[in-house]
């Protein structure tokens, strides 16, 4: 008989990290632990305060309810937890972990053998111009060929100058530039800003205007001079019908999948299949999980064989992350089978 419990863990950022929602210094996360016949399964429910649709006052009560109903099985629980995508994701991991020979190898592959890698983007956090410039130099120095810069916090002209400084040194064939506005632009001047950005050979822009403005986003996607990727727009869209309706209405060029925010592996695969039907491409991004959640996302991502750089470079952000075989080298995420996990709650 399976037993379940949960534990809370606070991740501490090495450096305060700037986003359009303010500066992050800590990240609250939770773990579901399953036990059966002497084996243990672990899954991270990566709640993201201020962004997750399940950031609600009764979140911990829902974790208690989940653990007390664990005997009902994964399929039943996933169906009952549609409005708690981070708990769905934690359960998926925990069940896979319980059934695996190695509790941290959920999808054994050439990736977990250390023979294949995953191309990732280097993330540039918001901040003062010099701070952002320093991050860019560090990413280029360590071998990244794809850089994603968060914009919308400082003056747009200063952000354009930063991007220009990269383009003056590296062509789009040498360095792929992505930008993430986190909904910071307003609809009436968004197209003008997209035009300015397109002149710098930007690969794509994530969520230029805030989520929920479906008509305005659809118009932007129809007229945009550079590809638009939906990110926050996918959060809180639960049913297959609603997902299909959203993609059909907006017709984005890309969608970005954060398993903790959209219902884990099952939710991600549903979005991917609908994206294909709408001739829309995708990539996967972590959402500030610990190495436990990041590991699960990376192994899942590898099975999908995408050729695009993924957003999986967040493992080194925390001072108290769990030691793992995950390593970032030369713009890729790698799994070093000679390294061991140190997971202590």
Reduced 3-state DSSP string for the chain: CCEEEEEEEEEEEEEEEEECCEEEEEEEEEEEEEEECCEEEEEEECCCCCCCCCCCCCHHHHHHHHHHCHHHCHHHHHHHCCCCHHHHHHHHHHHHHHHCCCCCCCCCCCCCCCCCCEEECEEECECCHHHHHHHHHHHHHCCCCEEEEECCCCCHHHHHHHHHHHHHHCCCCCCEEEEECCCEECHHHHHHHHHHHHCCCCCEEECCECCCCHHHHHHHHHHCCCCEEECHHHCCCCCHHHHHHHHHHHCCCEEEECHHHHCHHHHHHHHHHHHHHCCCEEEEECCCCCHHHHHHHHHHHHHHCCCCCEECCCCCCECCCCECCEEEECCEEEECCCCCCECCC
Question: Would residue 27 show up in a list of annotated catalytic residues for this protein?
Answer: no
Catalytic residue among 139, 150, 193, 210: 150
Which residue in the list 139, 210, 243, 258 is annotated as catalytic? 258
Whether residue 148 lies in the annotated active site: no
Residues labelled catalytic: 150, 258
């Amino acid at each position: 008989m399976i037993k379940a419990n949960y534990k809370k863990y606070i991740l501490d950022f090495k450096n305060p990290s700037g986003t359009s929602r303010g500066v992050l210094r800590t990240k609250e996360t939770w773990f579901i632990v399953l036990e059966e016949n002497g084996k243990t399964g672990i899954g991270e429910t990566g709640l993201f305060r201020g962004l997750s649709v399940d950031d609600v006052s009764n979140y911990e009560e829902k974790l208690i309810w989940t653990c007390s109903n664990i005997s009902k099985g994964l399929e039943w629980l996933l169906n009952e937890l549609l409005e708690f995508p981070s708990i769905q994701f934690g359960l998926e991991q925990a069940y896979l972990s319980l059934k695996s020979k190695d509790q941290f190898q959920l999808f054994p592959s050439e990736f977990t053998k250390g023979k294949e890698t995953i191309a990732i983007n280097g993330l540039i956090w918001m901040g003062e111009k010099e701070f952002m410039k320093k991050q860019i130099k560090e990413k280029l120095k360590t071998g990244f060929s794809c850089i994603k810069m968060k914009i919308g916090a400082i003056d747009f002209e200063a952000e354009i100058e930063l991007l220009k400084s990269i383009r003056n040194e590296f062509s789009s064939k040498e360095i792929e530039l992505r930008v993430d506005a986190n909904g910071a632009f307003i609809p009436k001047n968004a197209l003008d800003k997209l035009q300015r950005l397109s002149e710098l050979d930007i690969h794509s822009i994530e969520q230029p205007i805030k989520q929920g403005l479906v008509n305005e986003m659809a118009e932007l996607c129809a007229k945009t001079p550079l590809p638009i990727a939906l990110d926050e727009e996918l959060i809180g869209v639960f049913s297959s019908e609603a997902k299909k309706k959203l993609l059909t209405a907006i017709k984005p060029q890309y969608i970005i999948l954060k398993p903790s925010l959209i219902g884990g592996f099952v939710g991600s695969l549903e979005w991917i299949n609908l994206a294909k039907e709408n001739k829309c491409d995708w990539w996967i991004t972590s959402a500030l999980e610990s190495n436990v959640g990041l590991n699960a996302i990376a192994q899942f991502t590898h099975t999908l064989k995408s050729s695009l750089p993924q957003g999986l470079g967040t493992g080194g952000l925390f001072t108290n992350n769990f030691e793992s075989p995950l390593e970032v080298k030369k713009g890729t995420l790698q799994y070093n089978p000679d390294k061991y996990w140190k997971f202590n709650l």
